[in-house]
Structure 1
Amino acid sequence: MTNTLKCISPIDGSVYLERPVLSLDEARAACDRASAAQEDWAARSIAERADLVRAAVAEVGKHTDRMAEELAHQMGRPVRYGGEFGGFNERASYMAEIAEEALAPIVIEDSATATRQIKRVPRGVVLVVAPWNYPYMTAINTVAPALIAGNTVVLKHATQTLRVGERLAEAFHAAGVPKDVFQNVFLDHDTTSALISERRFGFVNFTGSVGGGRAMEHAAAGTFTPVATELGGKDPGYVRADADLDAAVNGLMDGAMFNAGQCCCGIERIYVHESLYDAYVEKAVAWVKALKLGNPLDTETTIGPMANVRFAAEVRAQIDEAIADGATALIEPFPQDDGGAYLTPQILTGVTHDMRVMRDESFGPVVGIMPVKDDDEAVALMNNCQFGLTAAIFTADAEAAERIGDRLETGTVFMNRCDYLDPALCWTGCKDTGQGAGLSVLGYHALTRPKSYHLKKA
């Protein structure tokens, strides 16, 4: 029987999509086509490549209603939020805008006697392994700058969002990007690892689990193929004594619960100055109780099911373990909670870092809240984690936020906001979150290699 990938819809557990995977030989052929097409693609001007990417983005923008409905079926996000085109367009447009400057040679000397410069040249074929939780935005983070920089791209999208890869390929091809320059493929894990180990790619970008990132690095071991990873997160929020309480509640609770908590940089633990703790918790509980759990195709639904029953099972296990160890759950079960993918959003107090819910990635609609006495205690707790993607500080004091941020082991520091990716800033992490440099000018540096020229004229 042909090996297939199945997207199980979280709405009702039905098979939404099923696609056969490529055999290893078929996958090798796809990589060969991408490699053969790369020289001609790189020979085009940066402006032409950027214009084609812009045109592809515009094609995607013609179908935002379809995007929202298909995402609801695939991964459960409510249609009321309208898909992902806003962030998708913002990121691709910014990378197109800065391309000429970011990829310009660094000229050291241009005289009658010598030309010395450093050029940025494409790495070749870029493999993008994209996740399901923000399937358009996470893919475009690498796809757009990789193509603009002169690479060809092979996209392997998550099984939960198979349709997204197809839609992206349709849009890029309709815009005029050659089919061999941008390919969407269906691969199993073994074939993906085999291609990496055979040095079929000049660069691998992976967004997903820590285990998945290890598998990518293991496959690349000894090949010297660069692997960029964005893996797990357990992002903290800190509410200082001088914070705007309502803004902190609205910002952090949205960061914890939006997309059913399935955000790479979602807030998973909150530390509140003891002077604000009781008031914060009271307001946070009211905020969560106002959510409406339900079918994501219903425009009244504000929080949909988790993308997969097994993801919800892990969140339930963390909550149950915490309660057994002394934590208090503040939200009574919602009537729509079915014990499966539809999960009551939860706030836990009385939590400690001995509990998995405050250490391990939850990636679901649960957050633990702890009181702290000062900045030092907050920093110690925020850093007491194996992950390091983002951290959010709510305060009226920007200088204090920067001082605290300098002490935090994280890739991004936010003040008075969270759960956002600014395309002008480098998207990166540390510790078990992995290593990479996405978007910004550094994103172009990652997707190209430096090549030095010393041309002696006399």
Structure 2
Amino acid sequence: MPLATVNPATGETLRTFDALDAEEVERRLAAAEAAFRTHRTTSFAERARLLRAAADLLEADEREIAEVMTTEMGKPVTQARAEAAKCVKAMRWYADHAEGLLADEEPAEADVKDSGASRAFVRYRPLGPVLAVMPWNFPLWQVIRFAAPALMAGNVGLLKHASNVPQTALYLEELFRRAGYPEGCFQTLLIGSKEVEGVLRDPRVVAATLTGSEPAGRSVAAVAGDEIKKTVLELGGSDPFVVMPSADLDRAAEVAVTARVQNNGQSCIAAKRFIVHTDVYDAFAQRFTAAMKALKVGDPMDEETQVGPVASERGRADLEELVEDAVEHGATVLCGGERPDGPGWYYPPTVLADITPGMRVHHEETFGPVATLYRAADLDEAVAIANDSPFGLSSNVWTREEADVDRFVRDLEAGAVYVNGMTASHPAFPFGGIKRSGYGRELSGHGIREFCNITAVWQGA
């Protein structure tokens, strides 16, 4: 895939970029190694000062970088501005909390004595240069949620961003440079996917994090496993959104629409499978479908637009294939389902009902504004449908019954359970999944420790 900005609203190629040659990649790897030797010794106060400076710059650049993101991958510009603001919040959160999250931990006094030590503690030390392979759907946020904790821990970053967001990738490198980070602390590698293996196998790169597709995750994990290097993977998701009889149906339907079409439906943690108790199925389906039909689809630069184009022509074709397969196998289209005329890679908000396990859409992720509706006879069937997926990223449950909540928290196979609300990432809470949604965690104290050397220190008398 060429390194290019192609406007999804028009299909027009706006800018192209040359990939780095082997000599420049080598120079950047050497710079990362050299930067780590110094950055790892800096104080938390100095790291926090630099990260806050970067946050201030990003806050000032919010409108400008939002337009770049919208141009490159098509998200509504209002959502792009919100993404930039979220990054600022996370950067400041880690600047404020990293030192406490990575403070030395002391075992119980009795255990220290039993070990024969006069003193013992655990220290979190940085690992080194970490390769981040990042996707296009949240081109700022996905990177910052890695970079902020990694830099605060004393690591340095190498970013291989998606090929269709090169301007955002270059902006991120420049942001950290402008903030005062020394050369090599955070660098963008404008390279193709075929060059990732060589970078990951380089002994100066100590670990990798990837957010993206399952095939990409398998590839990176295989190489890292061969090299015995740590990885964190956040892959696909097909999150269930379960509605029980006691739910506030009006609120549940309202949130369900946002949960499905946020970021033009291109979010790993977007709700995709709507599993509704039979007692309230018809009422929910009517509310949900009407609201999906009413969404304003259009130019993502328009402040009133709620759904813009999907990011690529291939992405739209994938959606069409899933919908067509479902219809051929008996699914009912409640709204949408047909490609509109005109330029750009638009696809309408679509609701499919009567889903069966024989349809591809039942087990595959729909990365766009397509929702599937399921009718569940009771709580047991709702749990069974929710777990009948190769993915396990997050989940949403709507109920006012505490017994329901306890059961879902116990039995849902997911990295998170959101009750009476929409799944969202926040710097204070761990983020990640199980099954084919990946492993490891980002954000919170769990995330910052993923790329640390958890060092046991034992000291005799």
Q: Same fold (TM over 0.5)?
A: yes
Other-structure match for 2:91: 92
The percent identity for this pair of structures is 33
Other-structure match for 1:52: 50
Determine the C-alpha separation between the residues in 2 that align with 1:198 and 1:38: 15
Q: Which runs of 5+ in 1 are unaligned?
A: none
Contact 1:268 1:368 in 2 (8 A): yes
Question: Structure 1 residue 332: deviation in Å?
Answer: 4.5
Name the SS for the 2:98 alignment partner: helix
Other-structure match for 1:251: 255
Aligned pair 1:15/2:13, yes or no? Answer: yes
Question: Structure 1 residue 29: deviation in Å?
Answer: 2.2
Contact 1:117 1:454 in 2 (8 A): yes
Determine the C-alpha separation between the residues in 1 that align with 2:386 and 2:231: 27
Question: Structure 1 residue 24: deviation in Å?
Answer: 2.9
Number of residue pairs the alignment of both structures matches: 455
Determine the C-alpha separation between the residues in 1 that align with 2:456 and 2:18: 44
Determine the C-alpha separation between the residues in 2 that align with 1:203 and 1:423: 21
The 5 Å alignment of 1:435-450 reads 435-450=439-454
Question: Structure 1 residue 353: deviation in Å?
Answer: 2.3
Name the SS for the 2:106 alignment partner: strand
Contact 2:339 2:347 in 1 (8 A): no
From 286, 296, 305, the equivalent of 1:292 is 296
Contact 1:398 1:415 in 2 (8 A): no
Determine the C-alpha separation between the residues in 2 that align with 1:145 and 1:387: 26
Name the SS for the 1:159 alignment partner: coil
1:279 alignment partner AA: A
Please identify, of 125-134 and 160-169, the stretch whose mean Cα deviation from structure 2 is larger. 160-169
Q: Which runs of 5+ in 2 are unaligned?
A: none
The 5 Å alignment of 1:17-416 reads 17-83=15-81, 84-108=83-107, 114-332=118-336, 336-338=340-342, 341-416=345-420
Give RMSD over aligned pairs.
1.9
Question: Structure 1 residue 233: deviation in Å?
Answer: 0.8
Determine the C-alpha separation between the residues in 1 that align with 2:338 and 2:360: 23
Determine the C-alpha separation between the residues in 2 that align with 1:25 and 1:402: 57
Determine the C-alpha separation between the residues in 1 that align with 2:55 and 2:369: 31
Q: TM-score, normalised by structure 1?
A: 0.95
Question: Structure 1 residue 316: deviation in Å?
Answer: 0.8
Please identify, of 162-171 and 233-242, the stretch whose mean Cα deviation from structure 2 is larger. 162-171
Contact 1:169 1:184 in 2 (8 A): yes
CA-to-aligned-CA distance 1:321-347 (integer Å, 9 cap, x gap): 111111111114689554861111100
Distance verdict in 2 for CA 1:151–1:335, change over 3 Å: closer
Contact 2:4 2:165 in 1 (8 A): no
Determine the C-alpha separation between the residues in 2 that align with 1:113 and 1:308: 60
1:308 alignment partner AA: S
Contact 1:313 1:340 in 2 (8 A): no
Other-structure match for 2:422: 418
Determine the C-alpha separation between the residues in 1 that align with 2:198 and 2:117: 49
Q: TM-score, normalised by structure 2?
A: 0.94
Name the SS for the 2:122 alignment partner: strand
Name the SS for the 1:201 alignment partner: coil
Question: Structure 1 residue 71: deviation in Å?
Answer: 1.6
Determine the C-alpha separation between the residues in 1 that align with 2:135 and 2:284: 33
